[in-house]
Amino acid sequence: MTGVRSRQEKTIAAIGHIIMILAAALAIAPFWLLVSSSIQEESSIIRDGYSFLPKEVSFSAYQYLLGEWKQIGRAYFVTIFTTVIGTTLSLFLVSMTSYVLSIRDLPGRTFIFIAILLTMLINGGQVSMYITYTRIVDVRNTIFALLVPNLLLNGFNVMLVRNYVTNSIPRELQEAASIDGAGLFHIYIRIILPLSKPILATVGLLTALGYWNDWINGLYFVSDSKWYSIQLMLNQINSNASFLASHSDQLGQMANQIDIPTVAVRMAISVLVIIPIVLAYPFFQKYFTGGMMVGAVKG
Amino acid sequence: MKARKKKVNFKRFIPAYIMLLPGLAYFVINNYIPMYGITIAFRKLDFKKGILRSPFCGFDNFKFLFASGNMGPIIRNTVLYNLVFLALGAIVPVAFAILFNEIRAKRVKKLYQTVVLLPYLMSMVIVSSLVYNFLSADMGFINKSILEPLTGQTVSFYQEKKFWPFILTFVHEWKGLGFSMVLYLSTLLSISDDFYEAAKIDGATRLQQIRYIMLPFLRPTIIMMLILGISKIFNSDFGLFYQVPKNSGVLYPVTQTIDVYVYNALMNQNNIMMSSAASVAQAAIGFTLVIVSNLIIKKISPDDSIF
C-alpha cells in the first residue's frame, strides 16, 4: 500500500497489534507453563502447583527419562520410524497414482478417479473401519497399525497432486521422453517426481505431521506397549498415573522404591513430543500454511 | 478397426495399470471394504457365524439405539457444540484476519502468524496435557496460583459439568484460530490494490473499505466454511471431546458427543451393534447434509456452491 496513512488506518493497525499480541501470548502461555513445569522440582509442583516461574529448578524428570531410555527411546523411535516410513510410502503412492490418473487417454481413468474422490464424501464410519482392520486385515499390535489405517493415502491428496501434475508439468516433456522410448515408470521417476517437488513437499509435510501427531490408530489397534508411539505413551501416562512405575525398566522390584517424579516426567515427555515440531515448523512454515490453505479450501 | 485400436491401447497401458494397483488396493481396503461394513449396523450379531455373516435384522439396532434414551444428550451435545463453533468461526477468525491484514510491519506480522499457528500443530494428547496443567484440582495453575490465594477455595474442574461447555469452546478456538485466520487472510491477500485505490479516490475511509470491499470478498469463503461445517454437524473432533475432559464419566452429560459414544461403546463396552448403528446413522446424515446444504447454496447463490 502506498501513500500517507490516515489516522483511522493507524488506529486500526494499533488495535491489530494489541489483539495479535494478546492472541500470541495466549497461544504461547500453555507451552511456557509446560516447559517450566518440566524443570520444576517434583515436591515444589505438588506443593505450589504448576508454575510459570519455578521456584526450585530441577532436571530430575529429564534424568529419569534418560534412565528409562530403553522404554522412552523405543517409543520415540517408533514415532520417528512411522513418520519417516509412512510419509515416504505415502508420497510414493500418492505421486504414482496421481501420475497414472493424469495420463490423458488411459481407459477407465475417469471412473477410477471418481471412485477415489467418492471416498472423501462417503465413509463406513469408525466401527466398520475397526472391524476391517481387525477381522479382515488384522493389523493389531504390528507396525502396520500405526502406518496404514487412514493416514497412508487419501482422496484429497490424490486430487491435489493429480491437479498439479496435469496443470503444472508440461505434457511435451512426457511426450518427448515417450518418443525417446522411455516407459511410463521411467517417465514417472525421471520427470514427474522431480518436477512435482513443490506439491509433494506440502503434501509430505502435512502427512508427516499427521503421523507424528497420531494417537487414534494406536488407541484402537495397539495394546502391546512394545508398539507404543511417543504420543500413545503420553496418552497412557496421562490416563494412568502408575503406568511409568509398572513399565519401568529399572529392575522390576526396585521400581517401586525409586521415587519417580511422575508429574514432572509427564511434562518432560510432552516437551520431547513438541520440540521436533517447534524446531522444524519455522523452516517449513510456508509449505505448512500453503498446504493447510488448499486443504481447507477444498477439503 | 475401432476394436483393434482399443486392444492395442490396453496393451500399451498395462504398466500404467500395474502402477495404479498399490494405490487402488489401499483405497479398496481402507475405504471400500469399510463401506461394506455399513451392513453391520443392519445385522443381528451372531458370533458363531461371524460379524460379517450375521443375519440381517432391518432397523432393529437403530430402534434399540434411539429407544435406549441416552442418545438425546449425546446428539444435543454434538449439534450444539458444532453450532457454537460455526457461529464463532464465522466471526472471530474473520475479525482477526482483517485486523492482522491492517498491520504493516512485515517481520512482526510473520512472528505473530508463526506463534498463533503453533497450537494448530499439536496433537490432542498434548493439548489435553496443556489444559490439565491449568485445570488440575490439586496442582493446576488456576487453582494453586489464582483461586486459592484469592478466594481460599479450589474448584475440581474435572468433576464440575458447568464449566466444560466454555472450556471446550475455548480450547477449540485456541487450537484452531490461527489456522482459520490464515485461511481468511489468504482471501484478503488476493484482493487487488486497485479496489482500495479506487475507494480512496472516492473518499472512502478504511472502515468503509473493510465494510464494502473486504467483507464482500470474504463472503464466499465464509459461506463455504459454513457449508462444510453444517455438513459435519453430526461429527465431532474425537480428540477434543475425548482427550481434553480426560474421558471423565461425570462430565459425559455435557462432553460426550457421537464420536466419543461410538468409541466407548465399541472399545469399552464391546457393543458393536450399538456403536455401528450410531456411526452409520452419523455417516448417513452427514452425507445427506453435504448434498442438501450444497443444493440450498446453489439455489441462493450459484457461485458459492462447492459442486
- Does residue A226 lie in a domain region? yes
Confidence band of A258 (pLDDT split at 50, 70, 90): low
Across the interface, of A9, A19, A107, the residue whose CB is closest to B96 is A19
In tens, the pLDDT along B59-105 reads: 888 988 888 778 899 999 999 999 999 999 999 999 999 999 999 99
Interval A99-111: pLDDT, tens? 999 998 888 999 9
pLDDT in tens, B171-211: 999 999 998 998 899 889 889 999 999 999 999 999 999 99
Q: What are A153-176's pLDDT values in tens digits?
A: 999 999 999 999 998 888 888 889
A116 closest CB neighbour out of B9, B27, B267: B27
Q: Which carries the bigger pLDDT value, residue A288 or residue B22? A: B22
**Per-residue pLDDT tens for B106-124?**
899 999 999 999 999 999 9
Q: Is residue A298 part of a domain?
A: no
A131 contacts in chain B (CB < 8 Å): 34, 37, 40, 51-52, 272
pLDDT per residue over A238-250, tens digit each? 877 667 766 665 5
pLDDT band at B129 (very low <50, low <70, confident <90, very high): very high
B-chain residues near A235 (CB < 8 A): 125, 243
> Residue B25: phi, psi to the nearest 5?
-55, -40
Q: Residue A239 falls within a domain, yes or no?
A: yes
Query: Does some domain include residue A148?
Result: yes
DSSP-derived letter for residue A148 is S
Q: How far apart are CA A250 and CA A68, in angstroms?
A: 7
How do the domains of chain B map onto residue ranges?
Answer: 59-304
Q: What is the pTM of this model?
A: 0.90
Q: Has residue A23 got a pLDDT over 80?
A: yes
Kindly indicate the confidence band of residue B238, based on its pLDDT and cuts at 50, 70 and 90.
very high
Q: Would you say A206 and A295 are in contact if contact means Cβ atoms under 8 Å apart? A: yes
A-chain CB neighbours of B26 within 8 Å are 93, 148, 152-153
Q: Compute the mean pLDDT over every residue in chain B, rounded to the nearest whole number.
A: 89
Quick one: cell of A15?
Answer: 488495535
Residue A19 in any domain: the answer is no
| Span B134-153, average pLDDT | 91
Q: What is chain A's mean pLDDT, rounded?
A: 87
- Report residue B164's pLDDT band, with 50, 70 and 90 as the boundaries: very high
Q: Provide the ipTM.
A: 0.89
Question: How many domains are contained in chain A?
Answer: 1
Predicted pLDDT of residue A298: 44
Is A12 part of a structural domain of the chain? no
Q: Are A284 and A198 within 8 A, CB to CB?
A: no
Among B40, B122, B179, beta carbon nearest to A131:
B40
The answer to whether the CB atoms of A129 and B34 lie below 8 A apart is yes
The pLDDT of residue A251 is 47
Instruction: Tell me the C-alpha distance between A225 and A232, whole Å.
Output: 9
Residue A290 has pLDDT above 80, yes or no: no
CB contacts of B275 in chain A (<8 Å) are 126-127
Q: With an 8 Å Cβ cutoff, are B143 and A31 in contact? A: no
Contact flag B178-A119 (C-beta cutoff 8 Å): no
Interface test with A, best of B45, B53, B92, B126 (most A CBs within 10 A): B126
> What is the pLDDT at residue A74?
92
Displacement of CA A215 from its chain's centroid (Å): 10
Which of these ranges, A255-264, B156-165, B246-255, has the smallest mean pLDDT?
A255-264
Predicted confidence at residue A122, as pLDDT, reads: 81
Number of A/B CB contacts below 8 angstroms equals: 294
pLDDT tens, position by position, A55-70: 889 898 898 888 888 8
- A214 to chain B: nearest residue by CA? B123
CB contact under 8 A, B283 and A281: no
Contact at CB, B129 and A121, closer than 8 angstroms: no
**Interchain CB distance below 8 Å, B34 and A292:** no
Expressed as residue numbers, the domain containing A242 is 69-247
* Interface probe with B: pick from A111, A119, A120, A127, most Cβ of B within 10 Å: A127
CB spacing of A16 vs B102 below 8 angstroms: yes
- Residue B8 has what pLDDT? 53
CATH number assigned to the domain comprising residue A234: 1.10.3720.10
- How near does any CA of chain B get to the CA of A255, in Å? 24
Test B178 with A27 for CB contact under 8 angstroms. yes
Cβ–Cβ below 8 Å for A125 and B139: no
A81 part of a folded domain? yes
DSSP characters for chain B? -HHHHHHHHHHHTHHHHHHHHHHHHHHIIIIIHHHHGGGGGGB---TTT-GGGSPB-TTHHHHHHHHTS-HHHHHHHHHHHHHHHHHHHHHHHHHHHHHHHH---HHHHHHHHHHHHGGGGS-HHHHHHHHHHHH-TTT-HIIIIIIHHHHS----GGG-GGGHHHHHHHHHHHHHHHHHHHHHHHHHHTS-HHHHHHHHHTT--HHHHIIIIIHHHHHHHHHHHHHHHHHTTT---HHHHHHTTTT-GGGHHHH--HHHHHHIIIIIS--HHHHHHHHHHHHHHHHHHHHHHHHHHHHH-GGG---
Interface test with A, best of B94, B125, B177, B191 (most A CBs within 10 A): B125
Average confidence (pLDDT) over B236-242? 95
pLDDT score at B307: 65
CA atoms within 13 A on the CB side of B113: 25
Of A248-262, A269-283, B216-230, B271-285, the least confident: A248-262
pLDDT at B1 over 50: no
Q: Which of A31-40, A88-97, A238-247, A286-295 has the lowest mean pLDDT?
A: A286-295
Alpha carbons B40 and A129: distance in angstroms, whole number = 11
- For residue A32, the chain B residue with the least C-alpha distance is B130
Kindly report, residue by residue over A203-215, the tens digit of the pLDDT: 998 899 999 999 9
Nearest CA in chain B to A8: B206
Q: What percent of chain A has pLDDT over 90?
A: 51
pLDDT at B294 over 90: no
Q: Which residues of A touch B3 (CB under 8 A)?
A: none
* Confidence bin at A299 (pLDDT 50/70/90): very low
B235: closest chain A residue by CA: A125
CB B178 within 8 Å of CB A27: yes
Proportion of chain B above pLDDT 70, given as a percent? 95
Cα B36 off chain centre by: 25
Q: What percent of chain A has pLDDT over 70?
A: 90
Find the residue in B nearest to A265 (Cα): B129
Class of the CATH domain delimited by B59-304: mainly alpha
